[in-house]
A and B are shown apart, each in its own frame.
Chain A
């Protein structure tokens, strides 16, 4: 192949495309998706991705529940979601076809590996006959039947590879074809393949051959009448990298370690979909991070609290079931007033629920799910890249206010990705650490619970001579920290701890609204629904509708102006991936405010066209 795309056919310009790659978990769809993503980023598109894989690690080949997918939305415009319905579906086998075809836009492009539509595979997917022969299918979609399996085999004839190894290359055929279809830089990808498989040159060579074959198929076969081009988006100038939410969370914590020169300590226990935070931070040991994989969820947070007592900037990462196990420990961090960030990557619940699917159903649990009066600040990240800033902010608040902070993300943010503009270090949230070095009592004694004007107690860490003190779970005297069973002291301490957390509001920016400052409808999102709700609002605004959008990042304390904002609109719509938890919280917090709920609990992000339709009904 000479240069990328010596087009012999016309190139159509399009604004935005959503592609979904689906196949067996062994088909390499995640790799195909990420490679295509990288190429789109290099081409200057704005983008957002979302992988969707089964809970089983290696589900039986060809089975319906073993289907793995990767969706990518790339655009010449500013986008906020991986897209609702794909414009293009690349399906590698009947099971993948069956579980995804209904999502494809009518008139969308359907590229199918016919080589996998054989008797046994059709049977595993529950088909009695070949669905590709269905006339209705051809009427609804633009079907491109390509025998990718056979074409891959042909390309690798005489390569000496086993048939199993050859079968594993076929995702590169699909990738090559898509590279041609969207005029991506093929030479660059060939470099990537060689780098990725540097240790296995024969596999590298095979993948390159198949990739080129896929590219050439697009170019030479008469199947595709045109190829497409999505022009570069007008992104803010700067250096970018693509980040998933989990990676960005880890990066945020490591940035805190670098910024402060203090140790960041992560105590954690593996749990889907939060585990990558532990992986990523474990790899960042050279940046001042200490990670500790504990024996269970409880010890994960326990080790972090122990490290916090020792002066570390401590955090723990988990998902819903783990947060439940950590609840008692959060109470201890609250009563001892030690800084700590608890990251909860929400997933479908209750119990084991749907571990690989997203949900926002831990909001009320994060706010209230502890025994006793135990308020903690709660922040929720709004996009994969925002996880970076949210992690830094959560740590900033934890340390400044000597309190545990819960950071909520979700499976959708954690695994989804988007470009992250590398920030100027000076612009980052500043985490300021100061340890007590001197006695603060009138008699020269150290009083660990003597507070400053903001009600924050001092942080004295082992090694500081003369400041030896004890902290613990028993209620403590309001100055000395020694055990106190005095009722009035307890009341004072409960109220003081609550007031301190309420004071955090000074670090919570006022809510900003995009769209009219008053009007018919306000869409209020929180956490991972930001992208879908934002897109919906933009869509409706473009239609000339009086719709505004505001997004809540801090859930406790709530922004000072929230009540006023809510009361500026006739209707407040709260879209959530739960059965109405923020709506419930708003009703309780702002008497008279009765939001309209829009709820989906299907393990997937909210679809903009569904939300837009619901909002149109209100207007």
Chain B
């Protein structure tokens, strides 16, 4: 078995197109579902990730999003509710030559699969985990999920949800993910960029995609995606650029030196200039600022950040595992079945 990592393949690959990554099974999502836009971007990206098609594996759990592998013409596994990261982790450790994607949803990854999710992130396992966040359980027909808003009325919470939701990128960062990004289903090109960056990242990559479920939670993101409000409510984080937003890019995010908190400021007001604005650096080893940015999500008066929160290269679990194996092999020298069986304290009976 190969033990190489999934870095860019050295041999030249046959030129494939998006079509080559369609399995021929028509997706069975509801009309207008945000999932279509996500699969479209993923299939577009596949010919360009530098890994042969047969070495790319898609693994999913259970939920609307998790039907995804059936529609991709790669190796794929549709597994158990919440457990996709466990299969993916085992496969990646066993076969570091493969590029492994995990496709999951908010209920799948953060409720029943929360444990596997945080551990995949903290191990810095080289997985690309894309979480479709529609803030609802779709496949079971509309119950609150771990990302549903407080007070949300659903079939399981007719009087409103008493649960506080997760902030998924903050959770991923807290768990130690080395790549964390957010995209929105209606912004295809930007989403494509995020997926591409995740593909290029070596280590645990988490991409949250805000996905509309027109059947059970329609309009969940219109508060930020509607044309009328978009400019003021989305903060586009770009590496090395100041965190500006608003119609004329006059609003910005500043780290208040006194309170050590992020605040929204306006250029030209109260002596604020561009110099006061936080310059985005996702590559900082310390995830504190990334965490602060993740936490402005949903805060009154703040825009919702999209883009890459964090992208840091660290040795991955699969790399470390195989380095160790190679070390031990080098130290112990060539072995054999005979040697293995006869190791330890033995005695001879004549």
Contacts of B260 in A (CB 8 A): none
- A473 contacts B54, C-beta separation under 8 Å: no
In the complex, what's the smallest C-beta–C-beta distance from B319 to chain A, in angstroms? 13
- A303 contacts B93, C-beta separation under 8 Å: yes
Binds B, one of A100-108, A291-299, A488-496: A291-299
Q: What residue in chain A is nearest B343 (Cβ atoms)?
A: A241
Contacts of A311 in B (CB 8 A): 1, 94-95
Give B103-133 interface residues, CB cut-off 8 Å to A.
115-116, 119
- A237 contacts B59, C-beta separation under 8 Å: no
Contacts of A370 in B (CB 8 A): none
Contacts of B83 in A (CB 8 A): 298-299, 302, 329
Q: What residue in chain A is nearest B317 (Cβ atoms)?
A: A292
Binds A, one of B72-80, B223-231, B263-271, B277-285: B72-80
In the complex, what's the smallest C-beta–C-beta distance from A563 to chain B, in angstroms? 37
- B57 contacts A242, C-beta separation under 8 Å: no
- Residue of B53, B72, B80, B97 with highest tally of chain A CB at under 10 A: B80
In the complex, what's the smallest C-beta–C-beta distance from A36 to chain B, in angstroms? 14
A-B Cβ contacts below 8 A, count:
203
- A306 contacts B59, C-beta separation under 8 Å: yes
Query: A312 at the A/B interface (Cβ < 8 Å)?
Result: yes
Query: B345 at the A/B interface (Cβ < 8 Å)?
Result: yes
- A468 contacts B54, C-beta separation under 8 Å: yes
Question: What does the 1/0 interface line of B305-347 toward A look like (CB < 8 Å)?
Answer: 0000000000000000100110011011001111011101111
Contacts of B340 in A (CB 8 A): 251, 254-255, 258, 284, 287
Contacts of A216 in B (CB 8 A): none
Partner of B347, one of A41, A254, A302: A41
Q: With A240-B348, A303-B90 as given contacts, are A285 and B98 in contact (CB-CB < 8 Å)?
A: no
Query: B34 at the A/B interface (Cβ < 8 Å)?
Result: no
Give A412-438 interface residues, CB cut-off 8 Å to B.
421-423, 425
Contacts of A421 in B (CB 8 A): 349
Contacts of B38 in A (CB 8 A): none
Query: A26 at the A/B interface (Cβ < 8 Å)?
Result: no
A463 to B74, CA, bound (A): 10
Q: With A240-B347, A284-B340, A329-B83 as given contacts, are A462 and B328 in contact (CB-CB < 8 Å)?
A: no
Q: With A265-B94, A285-B325, A462-B54 as given contacts, are A299 and B69 in contact (CB-CB < 8 Å)?
A: no
- B95 contacts A310, C-beta separation under 8 Å: yes
- B75 contacts A422, C-beta separation under 8 Å: no
- A473 contacts B119, C-beta separation under 8 Å: no
Query: A574 at the A/B interface (Cβ < 8 Å)?
Result: no
Query: A304 at the A/B interface (Cβ < 8 Å)?
Result: yes
Query: B89 at the A/B interface (Cβ < 8 Å)?
Result: yes
A468 to B75, CA, bound (A): 5
- A328 contacts B94, C-beta separation under 8 Å: no
A304 to B92, CA, bound (A): 11
- B54 contacts A262, C-beta separation under 8 Å: no
Contacts of A328 in B (CB 8 A): 80
Contacts of A474 in B (CB 8 A): 78
- Residue of A41, A287, A329 with highest tally of chain B CB at under 10 A: A287
Q: Considering only CB atoms and an 8 Å cut-off, how many residues of chain B contact the other chain?
A: 61
Query: B70 at the A/B interface (Cβ < 8 Å)?
Result: yes
Contacts of A286 in B (CB 8 A): 325, 328-329, 331-332, 335
Q: What residue in chain A is nearest B78 (Cβ atoms)?
A: A472
Query: B55 at the A/B interface (Cβ < 8 Å)?
Result: yes
- A302 contacts B79, C-beta separation under 8 Å: yes
A430 to B279, CA, bound (A): 62
A267 to B97, CA, bound (A): 19
- Residue of B52, B54, B56, B341 with highest tally of chain A CB at under 10 A: B341
Query: B86 at the A/B interface (Cβ < 8 Å)?
Result: yes
- B342 contacts A302, C-beta separation under 8 Å: no
A575 to B91, CA, bound (A): 42
Contacts of B350 in A (CB 8 A): 237
Partner of A306, one of B90, B336, B338, B345: B90
Contacts of B94 in A (CB 8 A): 263, 265, 290, 306-307, 310-312, 314
- A299 contacts B77, C-beta separation under 8 Å: no
Contacts of A478 in B (CB 8 A): none
- B1 contacts A262, C-beta separation under 8 Å: yes
- B93 contacts A471, C-beta separation under 8 Å: no
Contacts of B55 in A (CB 8 A): 462-463
Contacts of A463 in B (CB 8 A): 2, 54-55, 95, 97-98
- A462 contacts B57, C-beta separation under 8 Å: yes
Question: What does the 1/0 interface line of B43-56 toward A look like (CB < 8 Å)?
Answer: 00000000011111
Contacts of B57 in A (CB 8 A): 309-310, 462
Query: A465 at the A/B interface (Cβ < 8 Å)?
Result: yes
- B346 contacts A241, C-beta separation under 8 Å: yes
Contacts of A516 in B (CB 8 A): none
- B335 contacts A239, C-beta separation under 8 Å: no
Question: What does the 1/0 interface line of B134-146 toward A look like (CB < 8 Å)?
Answer: 0000000000000
- B87 contacts A303, C-beta separation under 8 Å: yes
Query: B23 at the A/B interface (Cβ < 8 Å)?
Result: yes
Query: B253 at the A/B interface (Cβ < 8 Å)?
Result: no
Query: B220 at the A/B interface (Cβ < 8 Å)?
Result: no
In the complex, what's the smallest C-beta–C-beta distance from A328 to chain B, in angstroms? 6
- B89 contacts A303, C-beta separation under 8 Å: yes
In the complex, what's the smallest C-beta–C-beta distance from A486 to chain B, in angstroms? 15
Q: With A242-B345, A298-B83 as given contacts, are A309 and B91 in contact (CB-CB < 8 Å)?
A: yes
A329 to B2, CA, bound (A): 27
- Residue of A242, A303, A306, A467 with highest tally of chain B CB at under 10 A: A306
Query: A540 at the A/B interface (Cβ < 8 Å)?
Result: no
Query: A483 at the A/B interface (Cβ < 8 Å)?
Result: yes
Contacts of B341 in A (CB 8 A): 251, 255, 422-423, 425
Contacts of A290 in B (CB 8 A): 93-94, 321, 325
Contacts of A560 in B (CB 8 A): none
Given A240-B349, A306-B88, A307-B91, 4 extra CB contacts under 8 A: A251-B340, A258-B336, A292-B93, A473-B78
Q: Can you name 9 A-B residue pairings with CB atoms under 8 Å?
A: A251-B341, A265-B94, A285-B329, A295-B119, A299-B115, A299-B119, A468-B74, A473-B79, A473-B80
10 closest Cβ contacts across the A-B interface?
A: A303-B90, A472-B78, A302-B86, A306-B90, A306-B87, A299-B86, A307-B94, A306-B91, A295-B119, A258-B337
